[in-house]
Structure 1
């Protein structure tokens, strides 16, 4: 988070895009941070090898943390530990997720993704991850969010206490429809880091939309 008192409504989770050099992404992340409240940042490896991904994470994680943003490493628990990340994001089956939670949750957040159905989500949810993510990294190529992700997020927010993150579309205005599901967090990637986008302006606009339209949480407190 970037404010001393985070807003009591749906907040922003950034997903680092593919194909960024550490220096270029650091610059764009700093611009995004200047735009306002951000809860967390997820760093997927994409096609980087282990050494390249660790170097990328080692440069970006301190930048996020210095701004009060939780830094989450996707899939690689070893790199998460080496760079001092705040969490790990896993798209495993329930058994593997339970094992990771047992080993790591005392030291860092363990979030889950990859569920495509309600049954998938419920099975993963029984492991008690710190959050459930509905969406796929790198697939926010259309202006609007995917209908399946919206439907799963709405159902999850109504039924389950574990916080959820729903992937928005490539249009920053899509944060409104995500927030309307009751999701705790809206994930943004191409809407902030796409070609020709000013990250600072995008984050400022997203927060303004959420301030004006997102439901307030009366009985839940986001992380």
Structure 2
């Protein structure tokens, strides 16, 4: 992840789109809006070859804006597209293998922690971050209460940074920040914002600058 601020920062999840050009424009717009720590690129329903081409198109756009480009799940695609990291959602064995194989060359983050026990099991593997929620879990305006609770519990006792999935409205980013989580992940709140993705990112950063709790350096 790029250099931490003294408050919760934004992670973007690229929404599904069959049109690579539309996806690329959406990412460019969002990254023009202000500070974004990293961008996670899920495969969705794309076959491996199409996902490879898609990643090769999108990763340089993300990196040119100073954000880290993270590929969800496929280490071969991450390597060929020269991404900055991998977002893993398999079980502990799969996550552990990726950490052993690719760190410190790549950022390796871990999702799939649905409860405290699973989170601690994953935490023992020392990923670069832990993700609470699902990449497509922004189905309501607010962040899921369970993910907020896990983020608050984790941030209060573990040094490994956590990302908490927000909701479909930008106000959900502040609720995540108030848990003490280092990062908030948003998808539709940014990319489906009526005024456009750049405006959404600018609004979120302004809100976090003004209202998010500060971390002790």
Distance in structure 1 (CA, Å) of the matches to 2:182 and 2:156: 11
Distance in structure 2 (CA, Å) of the matches to 1:155 and 1:11: 18
TM superposition shift of 1:7: 3.0
Unaligned runs of 5+ residues in structure 1 are none
User: Residue 140 of structure 1 corresponds to which residue in structure 2?
Assistant: 138
Of the three residues 197, 200, 213, the one matched with 1:199 is 197
3-state secondary structure, aligned to 2:125: coil
More displaced, 86-95 or 117-126?
A: 86-95
User: Residue 116 of structure 1 corresponds to which residue in structure 2?
Assistant: 114
Contact 1:21 1:56 in 2 (8 A): no
Contact 1:43 1:74 in 2 (8 A): yes
**TM-score for the superposition, normalised by structure 1:** 0.94
Distance in structure 2 (CA, Å) of the matches to 1:90 and 1:197: 32
TM superposition shift of 1:64: 0.5
Verify: 1:35 aligned to 2:33, yes or no: yes
User: Residue 79 of structure 1 corresponds to which residue in structure 2?
Assistant: 77
Distance 1:127 1:6, change over 3 A: closer
Distance in structure 1 (CA, Å) of the matches to 2:5 and 2:99: 28
Equivalences for residues 1-223 of structure 1 within 5 A: 7-194=5-192, 196-219=194-217
Distance in structure 1 (CA, Å) of the matches to 2:139 and 2:97: 33
Contact 1:176 1:214 in 2 (8 A): yes
3-state secondary structure, aligned to 1:149: helix
Distance in structure 1 (CA, Å) of the matches to 2:95 and 2:120: 13
How many residues matched? 217
Contact 2:129 2:161 in 1 (8 A): yes
How large is the RMSD of aligned CA atoms in angstroms?
Answer: 1.5
Distance in structure 1 (CA, Å) of the matches to 2:74 and 2:195: 29
**TM-score for the superposition, normalised by structure 2:** 0.96
TM superposition shift of 1:139: 2.0
